[in-house]
Chains A and B, each alone.
Chain A
Amino acid sequence: MRLSRRQFSALPLAAALPAAKRSRVVIARQAKSGYGPLLDRAMMAYFDCDDPVEPWRRLVRPGETVGLKVNCLAGKGGSTSVALVEAVTERLRQAGVAQDKIVIWDRLSEDLESAGFRPSNRGGRIRCIGNEVLGYESELTISGSAGSLLARTLTRLCDVVINLPVLKDHGIVGVTMALKNMFGAIHNPNKYHPNGGDPYVADVYAMPAIRKKVRLAICDAMTAQYEGGPTYMPQWCWPFGGLLVAEDPVALDATGWRIIEQKRAEMGLKPLRATGREPRYIATAAARGLGTNLAERIERLEV
C-alpha cells in the first residue's frame, strides 16, 4: 500500500515510522549555527521532510498539551539549555500548539530556576513548573521492581511528552540520557540508583504513563560530559555541538553511550565497564521491549 504524504502525516506516529524494524537516531552537529537551525535540521532529517514546522505537526495532535521534560539538576552548564527549549516551543507554537498547552517541567522549580528557566504557573502562557506544584498521585504505579507515585504534571496535565535530556556521564549508573531522565517523573528516584540503576531505570520508563506519553527524545549534546557527572564538571565537558533525536529511548541511549565511550577513550579514560559503571539498564530496557540497543538495529543518521 502506498500512502500519500497527507495520509502518512495523519497516521499515529508509531504506525508512521519504521520503529519496529530499525530505530532511527539522528545526530545533528554544527555548534556555530545555534540551537534553532540545528534543531530544524535534526527534526527534518528525522521526519524526512523539508519544512521545519511539519515534524511538530506530526508529533502533536490538535488540542494536546505538550510536556517538555528537561533535566535541570546540574544547574547552569550541565542542564538542558534554555535556548533549546525556546527553539522547541517556537516550533510547537508555529505548529499550532497554544502557549497554555505547553508545559516545561522537571522535579523541582528550584532546579528549573538554577538552570536558567523562570518557573511560572500563570494561565494563558507557557507554564514552567516543578513537580511540587501539582504534587504526586496518591496511588502507587508498580512496574517490575519499581513502585512509585507519578507526578501529576505527567499524569494529569500532559498528553504528550517530549523528553529533553542532556548527554552526560553519571557516577552511579554510567550515563544519563533519555531513559533516566524520566526519574524526574517519580517521587522516589533516590531508591532506584543501587546496582547501577538496573533494572530500575528500565522499569520506571516502562510505566504506562511514561512509555505511552513520551513521543520523542531530543538530547541536548551541545556541551556533553564524559566523566564526573551528573554534577556539572566543566573540566570533563567537551563541545560535541550536537543534538540527538529519536523516538526509541533505548536506541538514543545506546548511541549516546557509544559517543561518551569514544570520548573517554580519546581522553585516556577507562571504559565505563572497567570502572564498574557500565549502564546495564540500557540492555534491560531493550529486554523489556522499550527499544533496541543493537547497533545493527539502529539507523544512525548523521547530518
Chain B
Amino acid sequence: MAAGDSRFIVEARYYQKLPHRKIKCVLCPRECVIDDRERGYCGVRENRGGTYYTLVHSRVCALHVDPIEKKPFFHFLPGTLAFSIATAGCNVNCKMCQNWEISQVRPEQVESRYLPPAECAALARQSGSRSIAYTYSEPVVFIEYMLDCADEARRAGVRSVVVSGGYIKSEPLAELCRRVDAIKIDLKAFSQKFYSEIVNGELKPVLEALVQIRKSGIWSEIVYLVVPTLNDSDAEFRELAKWIKGNLGADMPVHFSRFHPEYLLKNLPATPLGTLERARAIAQAEGLEYVYIGNVPGHPAEKTYCPKCRNVVVDRTGYSIGRLDLQKGRCRRCGHLVPGVWG
C-alpha cells in the first residue's frame, strides 16, 4: 500500500493554515508547525500544498475482537466483547511502548486494510461486540476516522470506547466526548520528568484532559503502568492518588499495571508484584475506592469490591467475568451505588 493511496487520505480537522503553505496542527498539545510535504510528529498527518491531510482514514493495521477487560475497562459493560481497531501512528514516543511496531511507524510501513466506518460498525455488530474500541496505537492521531466510526456505530447500536494517552487539546477532546461512550486514559506517570524523558510529552495537558473527560459525563478509567525505578516511588503514588481524589473523585477506577520490558526499555525488569500491591495500598489509604492491579492474571485485585461492604460485586479473573453481584448498578448486599455502565 503506498502512502498516496487516495482511499485513506481525507482532509484533517483541527489545523490552521499559515503563510508560505505551512500549517499548524492543533489536534494535540505538541502543535506541530509543518512545512509543505512534511508530516507531523505522529507521522500520519501530512501537509500537501498548505492543506493538512490524515493518511489513515479507514486504514486499519490491527483488528481483533477482545474482551473489554483487556482494554482494560472494568466498569463498562463487563463480560462483553470490544471490536478493537487501530491505525498506525502516535503523538508521543514512550520508551516502554508495547505496540511500537504499529504506533511508531508510518502508515505505509505497516500492513493495513481498508475498513470504512460503515463497514467497521457492521463488522463490529456481526462479531457480537457491544462496542468498538479505538486502541493499541494512539487513536487521537486518527480522530477523523474514529469520529466517523463512532457515528456509524451509534446508528448500529454499538458503543465506542477509546484507549488513549490523553495527549489532546481541549476542542477535539470535547468533540470526542460528545460522540463516544467511554475513554480510558493511560496516565504514564505523575511527574513531568518522566513525561519529558520517557514519554516525549507533557503531563499537564493529560491531567487537564482527565478533568475535562470527567466533567463531560462519559465513562472514564485510568491505567498507570508502573515502571521499576522510573515512576514507582511511594511519594509519586501518593501524590497521584491525592490528585485523582481531589480532581476526579474517589470513585474513579485506577489500574496499576505491570510493566514488561519492551521497545527502548528492555534494560528494566518486569514490575515486581510487591510494587503493584504497594501502589494499590497507598492509593486505597488515600481514599480511592476502585483500585486494581493489572497484567497479573488471577490476582484478587482484579475483582471489583463494594467500597462500603467489601462484597465482590464483579468477580473477575484475567479477562473472564464470573458473578456480577449488582442490581441496577448497586451492590446486591448493601445497595451501595457502584459507578459504571453496567448494561
Q: Mark A116-158, 1 if CB is under 8 A from B, else 0.
A: 0000000000000000100110001010000101000000000
Q: Which B99-148 residues have a C-beta within 8 angstroms of A? A: 104-106, 108-109
Does B93 reach chain A (CB closer than 8 Å)? yes
- Residues in B neighbouring A228, C-beta threshold 8 A: 20
A290 to B8, CA, bound (A): 41
A171 near B: Cβ within 8 Å? yes
CB-CB contacts of A178-208 with B at 8 A, as 1s and 0s? Answer: 0000000001101101100000000000000
Known: A188-B43, A188-B105. A142 touches B37 (CB 8 A): no
Contact A190 B35 (CB under 8 A): no
Q: Do A187 and B20 touch (CB < 8 A)? A: no
Task: Assess A231 versus B263: contact at CB under 8 Å? Given A73-B37, A190-B41, A191-B104.
Answer: no
Q: Is the CB of B37 within 8 A of A75?
A: yes
Residue of B nearest to A114 (CB): B37
Say how far A183's CB is from chain B's closest CB, in angstroms.
11
> Which residues does chain B contribute within 8 Å of A136, judged by CB atoms?
109
Q: Which residues of A contact B186 (CB under 8 A)?
A: none
Q: In the complex, A239→B296 CA distance in Å?
A: 65
Do the beta carbons of B263 and A230 come within 8 Å of each other?
A: no
In the assembled complex, A110 has its CB within 8 A of some CB on chain B = yes
Determine if B40 is an interface residue (Cβ-Cβ < 8 Å): yes
- Residue A74 at the chain B interface, CB threshold 8 Å: yes
| B40 contacts across to A, CB distance below 8 A | 190
Contacting residues, chain A, for B95 (C-beta < 8 A): 147
Measured in the bound complex, the distance between the Cα atoms of B37 and A229 in whole Å is 11
- B106 touching A230, Cβ below 8 Å: no
Contact present for B37 and A188 (CB under 8 Å): no
Contact with A along B22-39 (1 / 0, CB 8 A): 100000000001011111
Chain B contacts for A171, CB-based, 8 A: 22, 33, 35
Q: Is B279 among interface residues, defined by CB-CB distance under 8 A?
A: no
How far apart are A75's CB and chain B's nearest CB, in angstroms? Answer: 7
Smallest Cβ distance from B42 to chain A, in angstroms?
A: 7
User: Is A108 positioned at the interface, with any CB of B under 8 Å from its CB?
Assistant: yes
On whether the beta carbons of A188 and B106 are closer than 8 Å, the reply is: yes
Give CA–CA (A191, B33) in the complex, Å. 14
A74, closest chain B residue (CB): B37
In the complex, what's the smallest C-beta–C-beta distance from B262 to chain A, in angstroms? 11
In the bound complex, residues from chain B placing their C-beta under 8 Å from that of A190 are 39-43, 106
Asked if A49 CB lies within 8 Å of chain B CBs, one says no
Please state if A194 and B200 are interface contacts (CB–CB under 8 Å): yes
Count of chain A residues with a beta carbon within 8 Å of a chain B beta carbon: 25
Residues of B contacting A287 in the complex (Cβ-Cβ under 8 angstroms): none
Chain B residue contacts of A83, Cβ below 8 A: none
- The range of chain B's interface size is 20 to 34
Within 8 A of A (CB), among B71-95: 93, 95
A132 touches B43 (CB 8 A): no
Q: Is the CB of B41 within 8 A of A194?
A: yes
Q: Name B1-16 residues within 8 Å CB distance of A.
A: 2-4
Chain B CB within 8 A of A233 CB: yes
B21 at the interface (CB under 8 A from A): yes
Complex interface: chain A residues within 8 A of B4 (CB): 110
Q: B309 interface residue, CB < 8 Å from A?
A: no
Q: Which single member of A73, A110, A149 contacts B38 (CB below 8 Å)?
A: A73
A205-262, CB < 8 A from B: 228-231, 233
Q: In whole angstroms, how far apart are the Cα atoms of A191 and B95 in the complex?
A: 12
Is B285 close to A, CB under 8 A? no
Bound together, the chains give a CA A23 to CA B118 distance in angstroms of 61
One of B37, B106, B109 near A231 (C-beta < 8 A): B37
Interface flags, B198-235, vs A, CB<8A=1, else 0 = 00100000000000000000000000000000000000
The reply to whether the CB of B174 lies closer than 8 angstroms to some CB of chain A is: no
Verify if B273 is at the interface (C-beta below 8 Å from A): no
Bits for B263-274, please: 1 = Cβ < 8 Å to A, else 0.
110000000000
| Contact residues in A for B36 (Cβ distance below 8 Å) | 231
Give, as a whole number of angstroms, the nearest-CB distance from B120 to chain A.
Answer: 26
- Please report the C-alpha to C-alpha distance between residue A150 and residue B45 in the assembled complex, in whole angstroms: 22
How far is the CB of A57 from the nearest CB of chain B, in Å? 38
Residues of A within 8 A of B2 (CB): 110, 132
**How long is the Cα–Cα vector from A187 to B22 in the complex, in angstroms?**
23
Contacts of B3 in A (CB 8 A): 108, 110, 132
B41–A191 CB distance below 8 A: yes
A190 to B103, CA, bound (A): 13
Query: Closest 8 interchain pairs by CB?
Result: A190-B43, A231-B35, A231-B36, A147-B264, A191-B93, A190-B39, A190-B41, A187-B109
Residues of B within 8 A of A (CB): 2-4, 20-22, 33, 35-43, 93, 95, 104-106, 108-109, 200, 263-264
Q: Can you report 7 residue pairs joining A to B where beta carbons are below 8 Å apart?
A: A132-B108, A190-B43, A191-B43, A191-B93, A230-B38, A231-B35, A231-B38
Using A73-B37, A188-B105 as known contacts, list a sample of 5 further A-B pairs with CB atoms less than 8 Å apart, ordered by residue number in A: A147-B263, A171-B33, A190-B39, A191-B43, A231-B20
